[in-house]
Amino acid sequence: MALGVTASTGAADGAPLTVAVIGTGARGCELIRALSTIDNVRIVAVCDTYGLHRERGWQYAGPLAKAVGDPQRLFDETKPQAVVVATPPVTHAELCLAALERGCAVFCEKTLGANRAEAVRIAEAVTKHQAVFQVGLQRRANAIYRQAAAMVQTGMLGRITAIKCQWNRHHDWRRPVPVARNHPDFPELDRQLNWKLYLATSQGLLGELGSHQLDVANWVLGTPPKNVIGVGGIDYWNDGREVFDNVSLIYDYVVTPPPARRGTTLPPGVTADPYTVRVTYSSLQNNAYEGASELILGTHGTLLLTDKKGWLYREPVPEEIAWSPRADQQAAIVASGKTLKLSNDPWAHRGTPFEIDASGDDTRDALVSFLDHVRQHDPHTLCPVNDGVLNTTTVDIGNQAMTVGTRIAWPV
Ligand SMILES: NC(=O)c1ccc[n+]([C@@H]2O[C@H](COP(=O)([O-])OP(=O)(O)OC[C@H]3O[C@@H](n4cnc5c(N)ncnc54)[C@H](O)[C@@H]3O)[C@@H](O)[C@H]2O)c1
């Protein structure tokens, strides 16, 4: 069983795994480039409805791949074993269902469909076809986040009381459209290329950026949120877009302490009852200060996480805190040459953090792990479909809260 991120090995019968990529825009091309560096994989086809992107994807995939504009042709003519879906989320349900119907394993970019209902449909199809499925939430393949999840789950940080995430950029998110504004094709091409800016095709900042970070919260806390409040607006880029360029939300999670930790001594006034963790999320598009990071605050320590480095700050707790052997085991994960610099003496004094380092490529590692699972018919991928449903729902309720301006509860 491939449990973590492991090195990709040969297929059971030694033959290369045949993979097709649908959607060869920005993300699809990154995925194709990563796939082309993985042993024993053959990219048999790339597909995109937009000719310029299709051509670019095909150049990365190489001349042996077929380039088609219609997903139906891709399935019928190349019969791939695995399909990578990197199209806008509103197309994910249709494409995933088509791939699953044909017996393909699927790697689908986040978010899983346009909304919770579509994510659930995909999950039902995965169950029906007993397919190997992985959602492209690639912090799951990043050794820093894997380490952080183990540290939280083994109780090293004490009780988690809050998580703060932000993703700030100084960019309008617009892509150039290759015809003039007054050209009759402009509106359609703009909607096609700038789908992230329009409500019919986009879950906005929360879907495109927040999904990765809210996945970290769901993952490390081991539960989805109970409810959310939020506000947002088009505060700066008033350029015809429909999605907010400035969002702030607070999610409430209710965490039940694991049995093993219920007996531990708690300070007066602190009970072993289920407790609330508040997760704040914000994203801004006109100031890049702080960039993208997550802060996990526990009663014993704080983790500051980015995709390249993590920092651990100690809280002034009286008792000795040991490096958990289970968290240590996780640290031994070797992801395509990536190892963590860990020490058995991790608790630096506050203000001089212990650093967790990783070099590597999350995108490639996520695919390596997916392909290993496909070869072994192992459904326990790094991010299984049900986690994608939870993630999409988390995004969904956040957007609802900002739209209606009231607290929205997790759907029952
Ligand atoms: N994991 C990450 O870090 C990451 C980063 C960026 C985007 N994404 C995700 O990847 C997906 C694609 O985002 P992007 O930024 O590459 O968008 P993009 O617009 O650059 O690319 C999407 C491509 O899909 C094509 N397409 C649309 N409908 C299609 C269909 N029915 N069949 C075939 N092709 C179709 C478009 O023509 C376009 O070329 C989204 O789900 C997005 O959220 C993930």
The percentage of the chain sitting over the pLDDT mark of 90, rounded to a whole number, equals 72
Mutate which of 24, 27, 138 for ligand 1? The one with the most ligand atoms within 8 Å of its CB, which is 27
pLDDT digits (tens, 9 = 90+) for 63-81: 999 999 999 999 999 999 9
Do 35 and 84 meet the contact criterion of CB atoms below 8 Å apart?
Answer: yes
**pLDDT class of 354 with cuts at 50, 70, 90:** low
Distance (Å, whole) CA 280 – CA 130: 36
Do 326 and 154 meet the contact criterion of CB atoms below 8 Å apart?
Answer: yes
Q: If you search the block for the tokens 């996480």, which residue do you land on?
A: 305
Specify the ligand 1 atom closest to the Cα of 89.
41
Task: Tell whether ligand 1 has an atom less than 6 A from the beta carbon of residue 204.
Answer: no
The percentage of the chain sitting over the pLDDT mark of 70, rounded to a whole number, equals 85
CA of 312 to the centre of ligand 1 (A): 35
CA of 136 to the centre of ligand 1 (A): 12
Q: Is the dihedral of CA 398, 404, 408, 411 positive or negative?
A: negative
**pLDDT class of 351 with cuts at 50, 70, 90:** very low
Sorted by where each begins, the domain ranges of the chain are 17-140, 143-306+309-358+390-409
Mutate which of 48, 75, 96, 198 for ligand 1? The one with the most ligand atoms within 8 Å of its CB, which is 48
CA of 201 to the centre of ligand 1 (A): 11
pLDDT of residue 10: 46
Residue 333 three-state SS: coil
Task: Tell whether ligand 1 has an atom less than 6 A from the beta carbon of residue 50.
Answer: yes
pLDDT of residue 311: 78
Indicate the class that CATH gives domain 143-306+309-358+390-409: alpha beta
**Number of Cβ within a 10 Å radius of residue 364:** 22
Of residues 146 and 68, more confidently modeled:
68
Length of the chain: 412
Of residues 270 and 32, more confidently modeled:
32
**pLDDT class of 271 with cuts at 50, 70, 90:** confident
Q: Is the pLDDT of residue 4 over 60?
A: no
- Computed on alpha carbons and rounded to an integer, the radius of gyration of the chain in Å comes to 22
pLDDT digits (tens, 9 = 90+) for 276-335: 999 999 999 999 999 999 999 998 888 888 888 887 777 766 554 555 555 554 443 333
> CATH code for 17-140?
3.40.50.720
Span 124-152, average pLDDT: 92
Residues contacting 46, CB < 8 A, separation 6+: 20, 21, 22, 24, 28, 32, 54, 57, 58, 61, 65, 66, 67, 68
Single-letter residue type at 357 = D
| From 222-231, 265-274, 371-380, the region with the lowest mean pLDDT | 265-274
Task: Tell whether ligand 1 has an atom less than 6 A from the beta carbon of residue 202.
Answer: no
**Enclosing H/E stretch for 385:** helix 385-404
Angle value at C-alpha 375, between 372 and 381, nearest 5 degrees: 50
Lookup: tokens for 276: 């609330």
Task: Tell whether ligand 1 has an atom less than 6 A from the beta carbon of residue 27.
Answer: yes
Of residues 214 and 11, more confidently modeled:
214
| From 196-205, 258-267, 342-351, 383-392, the region with the lowest mean pLDDT | 342-351
Q: Is the pLDDT of residue 343 over 50?
A: no
pLDDT of residue 52: 96
Span 159-173, average pLDDT: 96
Specify the ligand 1 atom closest to the Cα of 94.
31
Task: Tell whether ligand 1 has an atom less than 6 A from the beta carbon of residue 225.
Answer: no
Closest C-alpha to ligand 1, atom 18: 25
Of residues 261 and 268, more confidently modeled:
268
Q: If you search the block for the tokens 């609802």, which residue do you land on?
A: 400
Closest C-alpha to ligand 1, atom 10: 86
pLDDT of residue 116: 98
Task: Tell whether ligand 1 has an atom less than 6 A from the beta carbon of residue 22.
Answer: yes
Do 92 and 192 meet the contact criterion of CB atoms below 8 Å apart?
Answer: no
* Nearest Cα residue to 142 out of 323, 333, 325, 300: 333
CA of 270 to the centre of ligand 1 (A): 47
Of residues 118 and 340, more confidently modeled:
118
Residues contacting 213, CB < 8 A, separation 6+: 139, 165, 167, 281, 292, 294
pLDDT of residue 156: 82
pLDDT of residue 330: 47
Cα–Cα distances (Å) from 216 to 8, 138, 235, 268, 359, in that order, read 25, 10, 27, 31, 19
Do 137 and 110 meet the contact criterion of CB atoms below 8 Å apart?
Answer: yes
Task: Tell whether ligand 1 has an atom less than 6 A from the beta carbon of residue 91.
Answer: yes
Angle value at C-alpha 299, between 298 and 301, nearest 5 degrees: 60
pLDDT of residue 342: 41
Lookup: tokens for 33: 């480039």
- Reported for 338-341, long-range contacts at CB under 8 A and 24+ positions apart, including other chains, are 338/143, 338/365, 339/143, 340/143, 340/144, 340/147
